[in-house]
Structure 1
Amino acid sequence: MLKNIKIALIEDRQEDTWFDLSLRQLRAGEVRFYRVDDYLTGKWLFKVCLDKEIGRTIVKALKCPAGKLFSQLEGATMVFQKSIIDDLFYDIVSLTHVDGEGRVRREIAKSIEDVPSIIREKFEVKTYEEATGKRIAKNYIVTLCKKEKEMITLFLLERARPLPLEEKEKTANLLAIIKKLEKASVTEICNVACEEFGIEKGDVDVSLADLEAKGKIKRLEEGYVKAAD
């Protein structure tokens, strides 16, 4: 799906059980575990539960990257249900944000324009009525997908990536950029950081100063830096 999200199957259980919180029932079916390395947010562990009896797949984040925001996603789930379109599953699009008290909240997308462009580019986006054939008072926006790795990718795009990066994450991402570029100008680092991580120049300057103070990078001539040996 996305080159900077690496998803690997690490365990496949042909038969297992889990508790479905929304149904308040113990369910049985196939369960798989995936290790995920997202270049933007970090390393994750996901559990995927396939309930073929009712056409429902649950994606659950078992382990999240460190941080006060990502930690609030640990144990969070996304539910994908069978649509009327081919063999595709749908989920109602809801995006995370941080409230004034630092708590992670979710808000349902009210229109297709509210859906991040990366999701619109990589997935089919429909109305709830188009996906289910059912008319309800609020015609929610949904995404459509088929494969489990696509479902995990949607979890990251809807739940994890909308969250702002914390300072230590910004610093770690900048160091990764510098190591990748080997030797780079501060201007080039700012451009890459903004394009890939949405980090503003002021934050780049602060993080570079922190990395230099900790001996992680070296300042070179004419505004260039490199990772310390």
Structure 2
Amino acid sequence: MVGVSLRFLKEIKITKVEERPEDAWFDLSLRQLREGRVHFYRVRDFLTGEWLFKVCSDRELGRVMVRALKCPPGRRFAQLEGNTMMFQKSVIEGLLYDVISLAQADEKDQIRRRVVGSMEEIPALVKEHFEIKSYEEATGKRAPGKYWVTLSEEGDEKAMIILFLLERVWPISPTSLEERLKSINLMDLIKGLERAKTEDVYRVAGEQFGLRKEDVDALLVSLERSGQIERPEEGYIKTLK
């Protein structure tokens, strides 16, 4: 499972698109205008789509704020636009902590956040790839309603963006990781076959991934609708991206 989960994270493409050594932003938690270094990142998340993040480093307070500026379309993701995640100095030298809280959607697609109260509630990907400590271990103090935190290196802004995705975005994704991985495997298969015969895709997908014909058909329809494949003629498939 660790190998599969690592592949998930490698499929998140994070590119820094702008650097501002000195800039300002409004910190809602402090209700203050703050100054420091600001970076902008374009993120291509294989599960949910395209994002734009702003990362603000407050050198004076030793805090880093990650803010989602632009989200993929959809009712759920629209509610995350403008949302922030704050990373603060821990008692461990060089590490910042984030209190783990997960987004969840109700039957009306209203998004809320819930602070995790036990280790079992923390997503497996977070536990496998990030250091987890109790709030008391990370800060040297106790606070009601704060239980578990992640630890990130001070300068690792990409890791902080990934944590935003894992805690705030992936839990509310309409598409599951398993479904998306099947699509990726199918795309890799079609690329490997170049101009692939549909019957070959059925056969190899069954042999390599255990997919039934109806599963492959559903995935092909989804890939075609998203503009990733086309059918140049009856019985053939080719990739577009």
Q: TM-score range by the shorter chain?
A: 0.7 to 0.9
Q: Could you tell me which residue of structure 1 aligns to residue 159 of structure 2? A: 150
Can you list the C-alpha shifts for 1:108-137, whole angstroms capped at 9, x where unaligned?
111111111111111001110000000223
Residue 189 of structure 2 aligns with an amino acid whose one-letter code is: L
Alignment match, 2:83: 76
Q: 1:219 to 1:185 in 2, by over 3 A?
A: farther
Structure 2 residue 115 is matched with structure 1 residue 105: no
Which residue number in structure 2 is paired with residue 188 of structure 1? Answer: 205
d(CA) in 2 for partners of 1:104 and 1:149?
Answer: 24
Runs of 4+ in 1 over 6 A off after TM superposition: 191-194, 201-204, 210-215
C-alpha distance after superposition, 1:17-42 (max 9, x if no partner): 00001110011111111111111221
Aligned AA (1:62): L
Q: Which amino acid aligns with 1:54?
A: L
Matched, 1:179 2:187: yes
Are the counterparts in 1 of residues 37 and 57 from structure 2 also a CA contact under 8 Å? yes
Q: Which residue of 2 aligns with 1:165?
A: 174
Per the alignment, residue 237 of structure 2 pairs with 226
Mapped to 1, the partners of 2:87 and 2:59 lie a distance apart of: 12
User: Which of 31, 34, 39 is equivalent to 1:32?
Assistant: 39
Q: Equivalents in 1 of 2:100, 2:18: separation in Å?
A: 28
| Structure 2 counterpart SS, 1:102 | coil
Which residue is 1:19 aligned to? Answer: 26
Q: Deviations over 1:59-83 (max 9, x none)?
A: 0011111222212211111001000
Give the distance between the partners of 1:108 and 1:149, measured in 2 at CA: 22
Runs of 5+ consecutive residues of structure 2 not aligned to the other structure: 1-5, 191-195
Residue 73 of structure 1 aligns to a residue whose secondary structure is: coil
- Distance 1:179-1:205 versus aligned 2 partners, 3 A rule: closer
Q: Which AA in structure 1 matches 2:117?
A: K
Q: Is the 8 A contact 2:115 2:146 kept in 1?
A: no
Aligned mates of 1:9, 1:137 — CA distance in 2: 37
Percent of aligned pairs with the same amino acid: 49
Once the two structures are TM-superposed, the CA of residue 193 in structure 1 deviates from its matched residue by: 11
| Stretches of structure 1 lacking an aligned partner (at least 5 in a row) | 195-200
| Residues 130-139 or 7-16, more deviating | 130-139
Match of 1:93 among 92, 100, 113: 100
Q: TM-score, with normalisation over the residues of structure 2?
A: 0.76
Q: How does 1:132-143 map to 2 (within 5 A)?
A: 132-143=139-150
Cα distance between partner residues in 1 of 2:65 and 2:96: 11
What residue in structure 1 maps to residue 122 of structure 2?
115
Partner Cα separation in structure 1 for residue 210 and residue 54 of structure 2: 31
Shift of 1:163: 1.4
